[in-house]
Amino acid sequence: VGQQRLIFDGLQYSDWNRGVFEGWREGGIACVHVTTVIWENARETLDEIGKWSRLFRAHDDLIFHARTPEDVANAGSDDRVGVILGFQNASPFEDSLDFVQIFHALGVRVVQLTYNNQNLLGGSCYEDSDSGLSRFGRLVVGEMNRLGMVIDLSHVGDRTALDAISVSERPVAVTHANAKWFRDHPRNKSSEVLAAVAAGGGVVGAAPYPHLTPDGTTLESWAAMVARLVEELGVEHVAIGSDVSENLSNAYLDWIRMGRWTHARDYGAGTSAHPHWAPWPSWFQGPADFVRLLEGLSKVGLSDEDVAAVAGGNWRRFFGEAFAPGDDHATADDLIGRFISVTRDGKTP
Amino acid sequence: VGQQRLIFDGLQYSDWNRGVFEGWREGGIACVHVTTVIWENARETLDEIGKWSRLFRAHDDLIFHARTPEDVANAGSDDRVGVILGFQNASPFEDSLDFVQIFHALGVRVVQLTYNNQNLLGGSCYEDSDSGLSRFGRLVVGEMNRLGMVIDLSHVGDRTALDAISVSERPVAVTHANAKWFRDHPRNKSSEVLAAVAAGGGVVGAAPYPHLTPDGTTLESWAAMVARLVEELGVEHVAIGSDVSENLSNAYLDWIRMGRWTHARDYGAGTSAHPHWAPWPSWFQGPADFVRLLEGLSKVGLSDEDVAAVAGGNWRRFFGEAFAPGDDHATADDLIGRFISVTRDGKTP
């Protein structure tokens, strides 16, 4: 009867294999939210979910599919690591409101509303201009609320993020980003967005990912950033999302950044001077070093209780509540009233 | 050796059959831009193009596929009516810049950047807020310019429309809309957009479609609207886009308006008081009545030459020029420089 492992990682995106899963367990990880797709459409996403169903079968001594509040509550109490399946884009929904329910039924529990480009739902942090949540986007948020699917705002534009927080009747997440005051990067979050996520009961996963931290970031300076977030947002709203990628090539990075939307070089979170996968800092070489992050948080003054909350307690509480189904009694007419603020009827003759 | 027929219709969207094609010829029509898809993805669009290839074979005495400058120049000089294939949405491109070339190769020559909802390219006239042209949207406009594919702005939001006019190196079209000053409706166009289309060398197709005209519009008042457009924009920039739909049921109207994006009632250009296909006015019951529109234009004072330009001469010139291939020598790096105003490189470290 071992102790329950604590650590939840807010996001990883790797070429998955047994070695990765063994690394999780050795790193003391209880549960990981994994990215299954970034640009893929519905058909391609079914392939990825199919691959995960085979991974769950082949490695059932190391991992399990975490999709219920109970799964989240129990993660880390046996040898297996819980895996939460997520999308970094709403692209698998294509143009269909029905597809939200379909992917929920297949066990997907986290969907980032946009990846790096504008989509049918809203605007991205990399676009010049952000529309806010579209008509379809508002309906998708309502459907995700109903089903118990987490709205992730990490790559989402500020205006769409604030719209989503306002429209969502349930708390939302930023699974993997830092504060813009730590590093001024489009992928990091303004204080307004961070405060709104926390005010709505949501959680922000701070990232050691090098493109999202200033050059020369040390464990101490990263931990100090987390400590300041704890102070500003409240300890229950801060967690970790490592943004770790294992076994992905630089060629694969082109897919991640350029998808099919451009034929010219796009550097994503990188730059021409740093076009490739960024080298991880000495103090965080991968999941085995989670424990060092926690030591860093202790050193900058967080209590053991607060370190435990940031390390996993907050994600455990948040995902546990988020995966419970929402109100299933809203009718289509309720939805249209709640989520389409401008109906065509009435506004113009 | 008959006289060449004059009339070009900027847009029709029907359940196509031999009766429709016979009606075109009887109405003296030389060429029609037809809508093949509105919400369909790439796979579904291939089906629709397949259906058109069968229609062209089965009815080759009545219609032909118009896709070159020569096709447009010669349309109406024999018994057949030229058919220009178009999309009312960029949905068939999905997320792929390559798909622009693929659908061009299949003979598609007009693409409306957005239908009624925001998409990957930009914002729609029915959204609360319009992002303007996205990063992907700018690249698609460049690719359409290169290939010789017409950018249609009829359902597009004002900001995205103005961005597209600014980014496009070739004239653009509004195939089917009226002036907002004629009827204040989201689908009708602001004076700013109309002026910009004309200033760029484009053409606006005025519509007798009842949802886009004031209640009680007569042939005289509609013709007077066209005459005022001729005065404001210049006669070479005004044409007709009837927006005629034949053989489409009220049930099909739900698909047109609601697609797969909402499960609640959406009225599109209509209202709860007028939810169905609007009855056409006595003075325009269908393509056979094109000649009456032209009589109306004469009666409000347009010269025979100007009536001929509006009736078809302008579309003939515009499509003829538009279908010629553009500059094929731009490299991917040129494109990124021209169309991505904010590259990730340089802006942030």
- Helix pair angle (A158-167, A191-199), 10° resolution: 10
| pLDDT at residue B187, as a whole number | 97
Whether A123 and A156 have beta carbons less than 8 Å apart is answered as: yes
User: pLDDT tens for residues B30-76?
Assistant: 999 999 999 999 999 999 999 999 999 999 999 999 999 999 999 99
**Which residues from chain A sit within 8 angstroms of residue B265, using beta carbons?**
336
Please give the full DSSP string across B193-234, using - where no structure is assigned: HHHHHHHTT-EEEE---GGGS-TT--HHHHHHHHHHHHHHH-
Q: Name the helix (H) or strand (E) containing B335.
A: helix B332-339
The span from the CA of B269 to the CA of B23, in Å, is: 26
Whether B238 and B230 have beta carbons less than 8 Å apart is answered as: yes
Parallel/antiparallel/unpaired status of strands A108-112 and A29-37 = unpaired
Q: Tokens at residue A89, please?
A: 């884009």
The residue with tokens 């029509």 is B29
| pLDDT at residue B218, as a whole number | 98
| pLDDT at residue B345, as a whole number | 39
| pLDDT at residue B236, as a whole number | 98
| pLDDT at residue B347, as a whole number | 32
**Which residues from chain A sit within 8 angstroms of residue B136, using beta carbons?**
117-118, 261-262
The CB-based long-range contact list for B330-334 (8 Å cut-off, 24+ gap) reads B330/B142, B330/B146, B332/A263, B332/A264, B332/A265, B333/A264, B333/A265
For B185, nearest residue in chain A (alpha carbons): A348
Phi-psi region of A89 (alpha: psi -120 to 50; beta: other; left: phi over 0): beta
Whether B9 and B61 have beta carbons less than 8 Å apart is answered as: no
- C-alpha angle B286/B228/B109, rounded to 5°? 55
For B274, nearest residue in chain A (alpha carbons): A349
Please give the full DSSP string across B23-83, using - where no structure is assigned: HHHHTTEEEEEEEEESS--HHHHHHHHHHHHHHHHHTTTTEEE--SHHHHHHTTSSSPEEE
Q: Tokens at residue B176, please?
A: 């089917």
Please give the full DSSP string across B95-114, using - where no structure is assigned: T-THHHHHHHHTTEEEEES-
The alpha-carbon gap from A340 to the nearest alpha carbon of chain B, in Å, equals 10
Beta bridge partners of B150: B110
User: pLDDT tens for residues A160-198?
Assistant: 999 999 999 999 999 999 999 999 999 999 999 999 999
The alpha-carbon gap from B117 to the nearest alpha carbon of chain A, in Å, equals 7
Q: How many other CB atoms are found less than 10 A from the CB of residue B335?
A: 19
Which of B96, B127, B271 lies nearest to residue A134, judging by beta carbons?
Answer: B127
Please give the full DSSP string across A289-323, using - where no structure is assigned: GHHHHHHHHHHTT--HHHHHIIIIIHHHHHHHHHT
3-state secondary structure of A215: coil
Whether B173 and B150 have beta carbons less than 8 Å apart is answered as: yes
The span from the CA of A246 to the CA of A265, in Å, is: 23
The closest alpha carbon to A289, from A29, A16, A14, belongs to A29
Contact B346/A at CB under 8 A = yes
Contact partners, residue A85, CB within 8 Å, separation at least 6: A34, A36, A49, A52, A65, A67, A107, A108, A109, A110
Q: Could you give the C-alpha distances from B67 to A136, B8, B33, B75, B116, in angstroms and in order?
A: 34, 14, 11, 11, 26
Q: Which amino acid is at B116?
A: N
Whether A6 and A28 have beta carbons less than 8 Å apart is answered as: yes
User: How many CA atoms lie less than 13 Å away from A189 in the CB half-sphere?
Assistant: 31
ipTM score for this prediction: 0.88
The closest alpha carbon to A186, from A261, A243, A127, belongs to A127
**Which residues from chain A sit within 8 angstroms of residue B333, using beta carbons?**
264-265
Q: Please, is B45 exposed, middle or buried when counting C-beta atoms within 10 Å of its C-beta (0-12, 13-18, 19+)?
A: buried
Interface residue of B263, B276, B339, B347 to substitute, partner A, most A CBs within 10 Å: B263
| pLDDT at residue B344, as a whole number | 36
| pLDDT at residue B3, as a whole number | 86
| pLDDT at residue B240, as a whole number | 98
| pLDDT at residue B322, as a whole number | 98
Which of B97, B137, B259 lies nearest to residue A260, judging by beta carbons?
Answer: B97
Q: Tokens at residue A170, please?
A: 């349930």
The span from the CA of A341 to the CA of A336, in Å, is: 8
Q: Name the helix (H) or strand (E) containing A12.
A: strand A7-12
Contact B344/A at CB under 8 A = yes
Phi and psi for B7 in degrees, rounded to 5?
-75, 130
Q: Considering the entire predicted model, what is its pTM?
A: 0.91
Q: Which ranges of chain B have pLDDT less than 50?
A: 1, 338-349
Whether B166 and B156 have beta carbons less than 8 Å apart is answered as: no
Q: Name the helix (H) or strand (E) containing A64.
A: strand A63-65
**Which residues from chain A sit within 8 angstroms of residue B91, using beta carbons?**
95
Contact B260 A95 (CB under 8 A): yes
Measured distance between the N- and C-terminal CA atoms of chain B, rounded to whole angstroms: 69
Contact partners, residue A263, CB within 8 Å, separation at least 6: B97, B98, B139, B332, B335
**Which residues from chain B sit within 8 angstroms of residue A341, using beta carbons?**
128
Q: Could you give the C-alpha distances from B320 to A59, B31, B170, B200, in angstroms and in order?
A: 62, 12, 13, 16
Q: Which ranges of chain A have pLDDT less than 50?
A: 1, 338-349
| pLDDT at residue A236, as a whole number | 98
Q: Could you give the C-alpha distances from B279 to B22, B198, B274, in angstroms and in order?
A: 22, 31, 10
| pLDDT at residue B274, as a whole number | 85
The residue with tokens 């709403």 is A90
Question: Alpha-carbon dihedral of residues B45, B48, B49, B54, nearest 10 degrees?
Answer: 160
Contact partners, residue A40, CB within 8 Å, separation at least 6: A48, A89, A91, A92
Q: Outline where chain A has alpha helix (H).
A: 18-26, 42-58, 69-74, 98-105, 135-147, 158-167, 191-199, 219-233, 250-258, 290-299, 304-308, 314-322, 332-339, 344-347
